[in-house]
Structure 1
């Protein structure tokens, strides 16, 4: 073969080897499986960027993101309470990004330094199985104090705060109800312990347990109980603690070390948009949207009618590691 022809072949081969691989992102998703699948598919349809997800509870997501910090396996973290995002920010795991949609997000529902943004809000509630409660001689639970009733021995579904954002929201709610006293909050959790069937790794599992009559009541975000009702479990009733309840601000962030940061930022822009935040009910997800252009669904919790504690996400996030450690040592070991 002539030298010129050989050179041409080498150039063409090099060009082929250097061709960029198909653009793709992987999302660590902290909401329900159906919602996660819908979100990544709709993003791909809208952008042409291939996307997949791994469903992880917030504690699991934080641990995997931290473990892979040198060779990050995810590009975006989407969903799950923002307390964990605050903890991740403190460990340098998030890549700050101010989205072009940032101005559409409700004031105070995003990190001031643009490390993460709120994507939805959910209110902590009791998911009551009215038949199971009636067999125990009880009405639907409407207060944290009622949850300690001896007739609920082994009848309460709750997750473990080491793995579940729902459970950490529950724990921090009691810190707030106790005026910031962590000892008092842990004392309440110890009193509740005999009534807990087992500590799940995922918060939303409590709604399923209540629906299937494994327990009489689950402590979940209200939209998880509503989703279970819509799956054909009519004996479920949502109530809210009369003393006051906490809420989650679901987070969204680009991860430090993302393999495709440009597409990760594109995902964040899309997820914060009004078009994206209108999709929740299609997956039976009735959390409150954070985009001011999207009205709350009629099945979402109404903050105007529910007594909410003053839940400081930043303070809760900074306290998480130590407080969860105390829960494991003083209340219950690792989740089942």
Structure 2
């Protein structure tokens, strides 16, 4: 089979499209003929060999990728035969192997692909969708909410805009460049602002002088620092990424936020899982995300690449040249 392998940590060019043996499922496992594999920003950090990540570095060589959808074409010993031939989607957890024509997964982590979703949409919801719904547990959105959504044309940003609009909130989308702001507007944002322009904060302030009640923050850095100045008293700053680097504030700025009752909370990791309140919180979020997409309430934005162009997909994701969820397709239409 064809697969993308990494033999040495480093740049995207280290991803190699190769012929490798097809894997065999073990006890309680299935093999999936992969139709779509998700690409996550964490994949790019793992490829670089970065330290301090929420996932361990894999032994090399490795086939990256932790989100796959396709059809079950083989069963391991003791696996329920009802899975054979079924369209499924799964998150592989810390076990990579998704960037390939076939991947092995534990049967107890499988979800049937809901009717009406293609494999790429299902892959987007099993990872990006579950994270989005986990973040939203801390937002309490409603008709009186005004939300700021940086990276609004990205995979999570797209879903946050849709969910907020469904809740009746006013949505201010922040995106980089006119093409991405146009996408955010088409996605339902009430105001879409190009935050690569120097006066972007003035534009937001002119339209919403009372301030926003929620800031969804995947960027950190200078953008988050500016966005905090656009929040209303009592607002919530929900952090789920640091693509621009850490947010640095002076003691005076922190005191100002405290005086205005603006709270900052990192919502990934244990906090997100504890908030779900079920024995298997990740599976609960996955199930909810797939149901939201199947009902048409959440519609993932996708950028599709052939499997052979995994290196290009990584480069584009790292340079913010993508919109929506990045997906590799071994047999791209």
> Normalising to structure 1: TM-score of the pair?
0.31
Structure with the higher strand share, 1 or 2: 2
Q: Which of the pair has the greater relative contact order for Cα pairs under 8 Å at 6+ separation? A: 1
More helix by share: 1
The alignment's TM-score, normalised by the length of structure 2, stands at 0.32
